[in-house]
């Protein structure tokens, strides 16, 4: 953006938690204060909450509250008490804040000749909803609908137009509704309006007031946090904390602001707005690509490169998914070169004040303006450890934990805001340029003009101004100029004249009474007339309404005129020398003119103060109007807000039901609005999103006393029937079957009900304080499958550090034999016994084995653990799979935490994931994953292991997850190896099935090499890596690749292929275990159900590799040959197919 298109931020007004004004808000941020407090229990009880509710551990009573939400300067703005109470507090406070913003910019809120626009967004608040509910109770729905006063006072449509009406603003008045990004989107459109010439000045902001705050019940996986606090980008964050806030900024074209002496706080160089569209997992889910596009567009408009930014004020909602996506989108949007990291500060004001809904963006902008103005980065409160350390380490960002000063003058700052529903807004700002308009001349005396509606407010105004001048924040002469050109004149007036150093005392002195107001002014000219130009200046200053006479009695009695004897003006031009500007006579004349104009103004005469200013004087921020507020709160007369309404059950037959599935099916029908919805309709298929999931979870909690979130029930594949099964498992034997009588039940102990839920709460122990430097050794736990064996080889190749191999064997000798056989099967050298230390352990005694091993070899120095949950047969029930995959891993984590071993990596199958909430079948590359209930026990066990890893991460452990698909290049043939069975069966019969099932494939050698390298990469901490292609190959395409490698088979329909494999199995003696006509079905059960899998982190690593990888067909053929080489039965099956020229 060129200088001609730059926009200045010249004024700010705001009210946020713990901050009644702009100065207090900035002070709180600079000092790192947070506004979250425990709510008063007695007030919550008085509001209708019960002791039982408040004692519920899931009920959160910590929040950030807005000061003075109940109060309003109704008389000042001309509202009757009835109108004031019918007006939503967010509209009332926004009106006050806009007045303050204009005054802080040095522009009179009423009477300024500039065309001023208003752009703002609000939300539906508690106050209006409560009033409408009360009206419905007394007058029915029609009574509430027909209440015009409530509609005018509460609807967001009238937020900007109310300000325009009350302040007399004639520019565009535009309501903006983009949810959480509303206020920053309003800034964008205010900028466009200024650039197009629609207005000369613009107010932009937003408001959200949801008072009183009564707490909420925390639901795992929902948006709100577990403890009522907001910790953006922190590993401990469990969600956001919704709060209230109101803010507005004043914008003006930079060239006009500089010419007029406005207080430029920062400069808007560019902005952009856009929506994520449909390329996301659900309506409420953000998209990194959509955000990146908007960020890049804003930088492009601003003409600023990403590497020039020094701070980003992020949306930073504190939700695990939102923060991760925002960090990725910001990184992509900045477009800096790989490896250029940590140069830009990152923070979010939500850590201080919570999430202010539609006012969140303006809160972030106000904070960012101060960063650009001062060059000081405030510390991010409540931040200890990043949620995704690897992602942050590889990004351009760092999160300041102590205040920092930006080096240099190019302090470019980016502000980002993301709206629920997909609308992103980004603004790029920079520091203010030096002023160009001359300051007001500094004379021996300064004359201050103060005006208010009443004497009490006038006295308070004088006292606050005295405090500001005493602290030396502004020049007295510019303060005098600002009071003249930037304040509205009221009936009560005062003129204070003193030397600059004496002004505070003079302001605190008792004020004389305001003299009676006069309708006009009469100037009595001396016989010799006035010096040249003086009469013209006076006529212009009095806007052509002054009478000029030579005789005081001329024109009749002067009862309604203020009379000025102009002789003093003539004498001033020829009196003793002065010393203000080098033109003594001119200085004295200016002072006498100022005195005369000030006296006339004191008597109620209208004065145009721009005339005597003559192009000098700068507007400076001064204390704004001291409103007298009173409580206008209609809720005081209503029943307690939290008390339930006594209303008959609209469906009494529901009380008679004991069919849990039918009840939940009815619930889903109500929420989705589909009357014939059945128990097996999938959540994602129905178009469900995170908000729908929250509604379902809350309703199940109310009806049945247990908390079941949609992720737990399968995410996009969740059904009402599956949810009913989980509810049955969680309800203890005495839980009532009647939904209306349900009470919160204790979870089952895992033996009588669902062991999966019990395993999620397995004890992990406390994380011990580290009293030593972590050693270089790696503990590798898992089967001796192809992946674990190849990874062991890579670890030994890359480092001289020892590897401790945890194996389910009775002794060390058995373990070494197992490792040797596994290596031989892959054509790898036998692991060096001097480097590999065997840890024998039965699955039920892993913890004891590790302690015994540690005691025997205390100098072994294990610094990290790699645990693989792959390899378990997909058909195992969860009760069996947990014995091999969950309970041993919990033991490992417990031992790690006991010994302060800090680093844990989990290798998990992609089958443990499910598509994200929403209709599009995409598995996101994120740590948080829904559980797909269609998967077998092995996938469920891997999913539980990942959840245990999340718990371990919360208090400081470094973690990462590698998720694999079907292994390419691995020997197969064992029971449960569905991909090998598909390949062997097809090669044996010379035919393959024409099937389009997607198969996520992991190239074995490359995946093992990536894991070994990334284990030691700081950028991997906190990440999930999907070691597959983003677009999986189908079965049909797989065999096309195999044909290209030299093994061609005929494509036939699935049933023909199954019949051919079955017949070949019957012909063999004995029946080969690898000929499985149901291999396709097994593959479907073990592969994730998605057509697309995000794999950006893995893709970035692959792009950096200097050598290419083997083609898919070659890897498939290699795996078949290795299988035949070590399995005589399979070698016999494939003898006619495979050549003798093997590559092993």
**546 within 8 A of 520, measured Cβ to Cβ:** yes
User: For residues 1098 and 1001, what is the distance between their CA atoms, to the nearest angstrom?
Assistant: 13
The whole-angstrom separation of Cα 794 and Cα 787 is 11
User: Three-state DSSP class for 312?
Assistant: strand
Q: Find, among 954, 1014, 1058, 1000, the residue nearest to 227 by Cα.
A: 954
Give the Cα-Cα-Cα angle 813, 814, 816 (nearest 5 degrees): 65
Are 1057 and 992 in contact by the 8 Å Cβ rule? The answer is: yes
CA distance 489 to 472: 25
Structure tokens, 938? 């092995």
Structure tokens at 815: 């373990």
Q: Are strands 1092-1093 and 266-275 parallel, antiparallel or unpaired?
A: unpaired
| Cα 428 versus chain centre, distance | 18
1045 class by beta-carbon count within 10 Å (0-12 exposed, 13-18 middle, 19+ buried): middle
Cα–Cα distance for residue pair 908/881, rounded to 1 Å: 14
Q: Catalytic: 1126?
A: no
Which segments of 34-145 are extended strands (E)? 36-38, 59-60, 62-64, 71-72, 116-121
Supply the DSSP string of 846-861, one letter for each residue: HHHHHHHHHHH-TTS-
**How many residues are present in the chain?**
1144
Q: What is the DSSP string of 201-242?
A: EEEEEEEE---S---EE--TTSSB-SSS---TTBTT--SB-B
Strand partners, 345: 311, 398
Quick check: is 315 catalytic?
A: yes
3-state SS of 765-810 is CCCCCCCCCCCCEEEEECCCCHHHHHHHHHHHHHCCCCEEEEECCC
Q: How many CB atoms are located within 10 Å of the residue 1034 CB?
A: 16
Give the Cα separation of 598 and 609 in Å (integer).
10
Catalytic residue among 188, 355, 804, 884: 355
Q: Record the tokens describing residue 769, joined without a space.
A: 């304080």
Find the catalytic residue in 107, 218, 219, 315. Answer: 315
* Contact assessment for residue 885 and residue 940, using Cβ atoms and an 8 Å cutoff: no
Q: Residue 563 and residue 559: Cα distance in Å, rounded?
A: 9
SS (H, E, C) 664-723: HHHHHHHHHCCCCCCCCCCCCCCCCCHHHHHHHHHHHHHHHCCCCCCCCCCHHHCCHHHH
Cα–Cα distances in angstroms (integers) from residue 334 to residues 262, 367, 922, in the given order? 32, 21, 25
> What's the N-to-C CA distance of the chain in angstroms?
63
Handedness of CA 139, 140, 144, 148 (dihedral sign): negative
The DSSP 8-state label assigned to residue 1055 in this structure reads H
- CA separation for the pair 669, 15 (Å, rounded): 42
The values of phi and psi at residue 1092, to 5°, are -140, 140
Taking a C-beta distance cutoff of 8 angstroms, is the pair 248, 97 a contact? yes
Look up 355 and say whether it is catalytic: yes
How many whole angstroms separate alpha carbon 193 and alpha carbon 171?
9
Catalytic, out of 14, 98, 180, 356: 180
**Cβ neighbours of residue 484 under 8 Å, at least 6 residues apart?**
449, 607, 609, 613
Active site residues: 180, 315, 355
């Amino acid at each position: 953006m060129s200088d001609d298109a730059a926009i200045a931020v010249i004024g700010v007004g705001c009210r946020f938690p713990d901050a009644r004004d702009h100065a207090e808000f900035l002070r709180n941020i600079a000092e790192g204060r947070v506004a979250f407090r425990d709510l008063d229990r007695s007030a919550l009880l008085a509001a209708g909450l019960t002791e039982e509710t408040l004692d519920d551990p899931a009920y959160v009573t910590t929040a950030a509250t807005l000061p003075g939400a109940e109060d309003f300067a109704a008389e000042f703005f001309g509202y009757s008490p009835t109108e004031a109470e019918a007006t939503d507090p967010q509209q009332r406070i926004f009106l006050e804040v806009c007045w303050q913003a204009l005054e802080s910019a040095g522009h009179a809120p009423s009477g300024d000749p500039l065309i001023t626009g208003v752009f703002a967004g609000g939300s539906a608040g508690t106050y209006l909803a409560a009033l409408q509910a009360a009206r419905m109770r007394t007058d029915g729905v029609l009574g509430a609908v027909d209440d015009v006063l409530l509609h005018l006072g509460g609807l967001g449509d009238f937020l900007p137009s109310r300000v325009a009406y009350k302040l007399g603003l004639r520019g565009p008045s535009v309501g903006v509704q983009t949810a959480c990004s509303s206020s920053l989107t309003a800034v964008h459109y205010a900028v466009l309006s200024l650039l197009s010439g629609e207005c000369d000045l613009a107010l932009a902001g937003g408001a959200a007031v949801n008072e009183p705050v009564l707490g909420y019940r925390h639901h795992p996986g929902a948006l709100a946090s577990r403890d009522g606090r907001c910790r953006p980008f922190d590993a401990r964050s469990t969600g956001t904390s919704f709060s209230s806030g109101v803010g507005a900024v004043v914008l003006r074209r930079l060239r006009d602001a500089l010419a007029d002496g406005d207080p430029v706080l920062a400069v808007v160089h560019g902005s952009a707005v856009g929506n994520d569209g449909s390329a996301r997992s659900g309506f409420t889910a953000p998209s990194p690509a959509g955000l990146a596009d908007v960020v890049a567009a804003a930088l492009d408009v601003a003409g600023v490169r990403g590497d020039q930014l020094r701070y980003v004020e992020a949306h930073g909602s504190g939700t695990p998914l939102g923060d991760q996506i925002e960090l990725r989108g910001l990184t992509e949007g900045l477009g800096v070169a790989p490896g250029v990291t940590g140069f830009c500060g990152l923070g979010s004001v939500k850590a201080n004040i919570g999430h202010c809904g539609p006012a969140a963006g303006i809160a972030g902008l106000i904070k960012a303006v101060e960063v650009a103005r001062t060059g000081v980065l405030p510390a991010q409160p409540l931040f200890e450890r990043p949620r995704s350390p690897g992602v942050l380490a590889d990004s351009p960002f760092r999160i300041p934990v102590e205040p920092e000063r930006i080096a240099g003058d190019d302090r470019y700052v980016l502000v980002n805001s993301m709206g629920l529903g997909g609308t992103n807004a980004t603004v790029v700002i920079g520091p203010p340029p030096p002023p160009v308009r001359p300051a007001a001349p500094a004379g021996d005396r300064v004359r201050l003009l103060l005006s208010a509606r009443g004497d009490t407010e006038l006295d308070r105004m004088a006292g606050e101004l005295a405090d500001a001048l005493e602290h030396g924040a502004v020049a007295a002469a510019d303060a005098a100029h600002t009071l003249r050109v930037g304040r509205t004149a009221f009936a009560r007036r005062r003129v204070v004249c003193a030397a600059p150093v004496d002004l505070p005392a003079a302001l605190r002195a008792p004020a004389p009474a305001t003299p009676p107001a006069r309708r006009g002014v009469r100037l009595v000219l001396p016989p010799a007339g006035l010096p040249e130009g003086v009469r013209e200046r006076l006529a212009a200053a009095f806007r052509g309404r002054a009478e000029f006479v030579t005789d005081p009695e001329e024109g009749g009695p002067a009862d309604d005129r203020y009379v000025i004897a102009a002789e003093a003006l003539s004498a001033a031009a020829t009196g003793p020398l002065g010393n203000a500007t080098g033109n003594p006579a001119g200085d004295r004349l200016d002072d006498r003119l100022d005195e005369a104009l000030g006296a006339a103004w004191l008597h109620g005469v209208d004065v145009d103060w721009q005339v005597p200013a003559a192009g000098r004087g700068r507007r400076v921020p001064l204390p704004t109007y001291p409103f007298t507020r009173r409580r206008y709160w209609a809720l005081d007369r209503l029943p307690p807000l939290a008390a339930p309404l006594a209303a008959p059950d609209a469906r009494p037959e529901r009380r008679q039901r004991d069919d849990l599935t039918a009840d939940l099916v009815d619930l889903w029908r109500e929420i989705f609005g589909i009357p014939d919805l059945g128990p097996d309709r999938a959540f994602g298929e129905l178009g469900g999103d995170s908000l729908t999931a929250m509604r379902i979870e809350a309703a199940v909690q109310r009806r049945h006393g247990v908390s079941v979130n949609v992720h737990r029930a399968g995410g996009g594949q969740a059904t009402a029937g599956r949810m009913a099964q989980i509810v049955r498992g969680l309800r203890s034997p005495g839980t009532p079957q009647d939904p209306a009588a349900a009470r919160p039940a204790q979870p089952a102990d895992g033996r009588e009900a669902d062991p999966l839920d019990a395993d999620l709460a397995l004890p992990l122990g406390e994380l011990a304080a580290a009293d030593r430097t972590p050693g270089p050794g790696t503990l590798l736990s898992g089967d001796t499958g192809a992946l674990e064996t190849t990874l062991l080889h890579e670890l030994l190749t890359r480092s001289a550090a020892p590897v401790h191999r945890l194996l389910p064997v009775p002794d060390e000798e058995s373990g070494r034999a197992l490792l040797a056989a596994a290596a031989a099967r892959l054509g790898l050298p036998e692991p060096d016994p001097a480097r590999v230390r065997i840890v024998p352990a039965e699955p039920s005694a892993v913890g004891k084995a590790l302690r015994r091993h540690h005691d025997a070899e205390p100098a072994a120095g294990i610094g990290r653990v790699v645990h693989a949950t792959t390899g378990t047969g997909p058909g195992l029930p969860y009760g069996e799979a947990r014995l091999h995959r969950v309970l041993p891993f919990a033991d490992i984590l417990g031992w790690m935490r006991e010994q302060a071993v800090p680093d844990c990596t989990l290798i998990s199958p992609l089958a443990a994931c499910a598509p994200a909430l929403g209709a599009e079948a995409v598995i996101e590359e994120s740590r948080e994953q829904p559980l797909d209930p269609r998967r077998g026990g092995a996938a469920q066990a891997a999913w539980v292991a990942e959840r245990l890893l999340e718990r371990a991460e919360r208090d400081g452990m470094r973690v990462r997850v590698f998720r694999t698909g079907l292994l390419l290049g691995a020997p197969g043939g064992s029971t449960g190896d569905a991909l090998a069975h598909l390949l062997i069966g097809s090669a044996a019969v010379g035919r393959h099935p024409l099937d389009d099932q997607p198969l996520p494939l992991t190239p074995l050698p490359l995946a093992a090499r990536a894991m070994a390298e990334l284990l030691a990469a700081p950028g991997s901490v906190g990440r999930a890596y999907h070691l597959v292609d983003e677009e999986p190959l189908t079965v049909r395409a797989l065999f096309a690749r195999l044909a290209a490698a030299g093994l061609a088979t005929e494509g036939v329909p699935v049933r023909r292929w199954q019949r051919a494999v079955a017949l070949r199995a019957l012909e063999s003696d004995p029946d080969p275990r690898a000929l499985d006509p149901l291999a396709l079905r097994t593959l479907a059960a073990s592969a994730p159900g998605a057509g697309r899998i995000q794999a950006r982190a893995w893709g970035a690593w692959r792009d950096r590799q200097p050598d290419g990888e083997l083609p898919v067909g070659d890897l498939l053929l290699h795996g078949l040959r290795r299988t035949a080489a070590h399995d005589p039965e399979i070698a016999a099956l494939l003898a006619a197919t495979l050549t003798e020229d093997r590559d092993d």
